[in-house]
Amino acid sequence: MTPRSPLARLTRRSLIAGTPLLLAAPAILRAPQLFAQYPFRLGVAAGDPTSDGFVIWTRLAPDPLADHAGMPMQPVAVDWQVASDDRFDRVVAHGSAIAHPDLGHSVHVEVAGLASDRPYWYRFTVGRERSIAGRARTLPAAGSRLDRLRFAVAGCQNYEDGLFTAYRHLANDDPAFVFHYGDYIYEGRSSPVPVGYDGRPRRFVRAHVGQQLYDLADYRRRYAQYKLDPDLQAAHAATAWFATFDDHEVENNWVGLVDQENDPPEQFALRRAAAFQAYYENMPMRRAAMPVAGSVQLYRRALVGDLVDLHLLDTRQFRTDQPCGDGFKPACPGVADRNAQVMGVKQEGWLADALHQRAARWQALAQQVMMMPLDRRTGDEPAPIRNMDSWAGYDAPRERVLAMLDGVPGAVVLTGDEHQNFLGELRRDGGRGKSVATEFVSTSISSGGDGADVRKGADRIAAENPFLAWTNDRRGYLLCDVDRQMWRGAFRTVDAVSTPDAPVRTAGTATIAFGDPTPHIA
Ligand code: FE
Ligand code: CA
């Protein structure tokens, strides 16, 4: 997989000083031998598939954790190929892209003109160095008859909390695509957690490199460390992703220009911009998601045949500050603030318009934080407790989106953030009214450590939340198998992330019949 050139052992300096080819072409390095080490160590990825293409991504990083990942501060030409077979006998598209130092030597190629609803393989080369091959499926044509779809939902991958074994299993489940709900990285310095949710000692698996993330170099290096993980690389190489961010790509519980420390907003804006740039550089995103003036167009839509309309939401950039001082608290008056926003006025209007079109049978909201207004009491707390960083802290915006979903048959909400599995109904009027959709809250890939089948306090959670159908506290991902009558969500879990090679199992499979949001778990 790693073709080594005879000159690979030469240093970069000797090559730059001594190669006439480089002197002749000073603007863009096209040297056949540029790297002292393999430059594709962060793997490859594909993203945002449409019916005729997708983005393919890589980032040159011969020394991933070093300054500038070991790259010279010059643009480098990277060749790419897309083939309709895994041996690359039939190359259907190819070209050359420039990896710019401005963008961390990442490459994002938007491939178009491909056939719909079929797999393709892609790879990159620089000189004689070649990446592994990745695989991505184009979507079925928008609006065309589609009888079944399999895709996966994943996120929350704290590197220190555990191994990414679940991603290897996800790759083997062969989903048409992945929706990633965020927390691709965590921004903290190394901070071993000695005790798990269950109160038992927790094995420390591996450590973050570096301090808490603030500047572009910090964020870039953290992505490089995560992307060295072979299971994560396998999941990227296996299928295209629709990536969205949540909080930890920037900082815990940020919203808008408000950070945890209540720093001046213009100051946090600079940190957020660095984080957004590193996110773009490291994700298979379309150019439309390149940060502009410190903001990102993250919310977008993917219409999968006539079966699923996927509305990918942004619940961070346009949100108003968490009420009641954030955290898990009894509700204060701020929870009922009529002016509060989760999506913001513009995104809400965009979503309402898209839902009105009824462009597919199922309408899926793919988003970050739990929508069910869960009472979090796990012990003898006298008053209901809410997570102010979820939709439970935002009554008015939540009731508006539930009103939008009322009357939409086959409405499903796909969520992450909680580091455990939740399944339930979205009911209007604070969880007491009409049921209008089903919410699948997928667990984490690793965040929270090994976990257990049942988390302490789950009895009380079940007793106080009649709209909740099921919970589970293992790590893993959600595998959705959708047909015209049924939406099946398999909660795929591993029993350990502190030890390698844990097998995958299905902790529960939820079934929803089209037109009835009541989930049935087996
Ligand atoms: Fe998380
Ligand atoms: Ca989160």
Domain limits of the chain? Answer: 6-137, 151-165+178-199+239-521
Cβ-proximal residues to 276 (8 Å cutoff; 6+ apart), any chain: 250, 291, 294, 295, 296
pLDDT tens-digit readout, 429-469: 999 999 999 999 999 999 999 999 999 999 999 999 999 99
CA distance 4 to 9: 9
- Residue 360, helix vs strand vs coil: coil
H/E segment holding residue 359: none
pLDDT recorded at residue 29? 74
474 CA distance to ligand 2 centroid (A)? 17
pLDDT recorded at residue 303? 98
Is the pLDDT score of 22 beyond 80?
A: no
267 CA distance to ligand 2 centroid (A)? 22
pLDDT tens-digit readout, 263-292: 999 999 999 999 999 999 999 999 999 999
502 CA distance to ligand 2 centroid (A)? 24
- Residue 416, helix vs strand vs coil: coil
* pTM for the predicted model, two decimal places: 0.94
According to CATH, the topology of domain 151-165+178-199+239-521 is Purple Acid Phosphatase; chain A, domain 2 (3.60.21)
pLDDT recorded at residue 201? 86
pLDDT recorded at residue 235? 98
pLDDT tens-digit readout, 227-243: 999 999 999 999 999 99
Of 20 and 194, the structure prediction assigns the larger pLDDT to: 194
Q: Which two tokens stand for residue 240?
A: 């295209």
304 CA distance to ligand 1 centroid (A)? 27
pLDDT recorded at residue 197? 76
C-alpha torsion angle, residues 66, 67, 70, 71 (rounded to 10): 160
Lowest mean pLDDT among 18-32, 301-315, 342-356: 18-32
- Residue 98, helix vs strand vs coil: strand
Ligand nearest to the CA of 446: 1
pLDDT recorded at residue 193? 84
State the angle between helix axes of 216-227 and 265-282 in degrees (0 to 180), rounded to the nearest 10: 30
Of 32 and 251, the structure prediction assigns the larger pLDDT to: 251
Phi, psi (rounded to 5 degrees) for 252: -50, 125
446 CA distance to ligand 2 centroid (A)? 13
Other CB atoms closer than 10 Å to residue 231's CB: what's the count?
20
- Residue 135, helix vs strand vs coil: strand
Which one-letter amino acid corresponds to residue 53? G
316 CA distance to ligand 2 centroid (A)? 10
424 CA distance to ligand 2 centroid (A)? 19
Task: Please report which confidence band the pLDDT of residue 32 belongs to, taking 50, 70 and 90 as the band edges.
Answer: low
117 CA distance to ligand 2 centroid (A)? 32
Ligand nearest to the CA of 316: 2
Q: Are strands 308-312 and 362-366 parallel, antiparallel or unpaired?
A: parallel
121 CA distance to ligand 1 centroid (A)? 31
Mean pLDDT of 27-40: 78
CA distances from 520 to 215, 290, 395, 487 (A): 46, 41, 27, 11
pLDDT recorded at residue 33? 63
185 CA distance to ligand 1 centroid (A)? 9
Q: Can you point out the beta strands (E) in 313-442?
A: 328-330, 362-366, 385-387, 411-415, 421-427, 435-441
Mean pLDDT of 336-357: 98
Ligand nearest to the CA of 369: 2
pLDDT tens-digit readout, 89-139: 999 999 999 999 999 999 999 999 999 999 999 999 998 899 999 999 999
pLDDT tens-digit readout, 394-406: 999 999 999 999 9
422 CA distance to ligand 1 centroid (A)? 14
44: left (phi over 0), alpha (psi -120 to 50) or beta: beta
Ligand nearest to the CA of 445: 1
492 CA distance to ligand 1 centroid (A)? 17
CA distance 143 to 86: 29
Is the pLDDT score of 12 beyond 60?
A: no
Ligand nearest to the CA of 442: 1
Q: Which of 282, 267, 291 is nearest to 55 (CA)?
A: 282
447 CA distance to ligand 1 centroid (A)? 6
Ligand nearest to the CA of 389: 2
pLDDT recorded at residue 395? 98
65 CA distance to ligand 1 centroid (A)? 23
CA distance 67 to 137: 35
Percent of the chain with pLDDT over 90: 90
146 CA distance to ligand 1 centroid (A)? 33
153 CA distance to ligand 2 centroid (A)? 14
Is the pLDDT score of 38 beyond 80?
A: yes
511 CA distance to ligand 1 centroid (A)? 26
Is the pLDDT score of 199 beyond 90?
A: no
Q: Transcribe 296-330 into DSSP letters.
A: ----EEEEETTTEEEEE--SSTTPPPPGGGSSEEE
179 CA distance to ligand 2 centroid (A)? 15
416 CA distance to ligand 1 centroid (A)? 8
pLDDT recorded at residue 87? 98
Task: Please report which confidence band the pLDDT of residue 19 belongs to, taking 50, 70 and 90 as the band edges.
Answer: very low
* Architecture of the 6-137 domain: Sandwich (2.60)
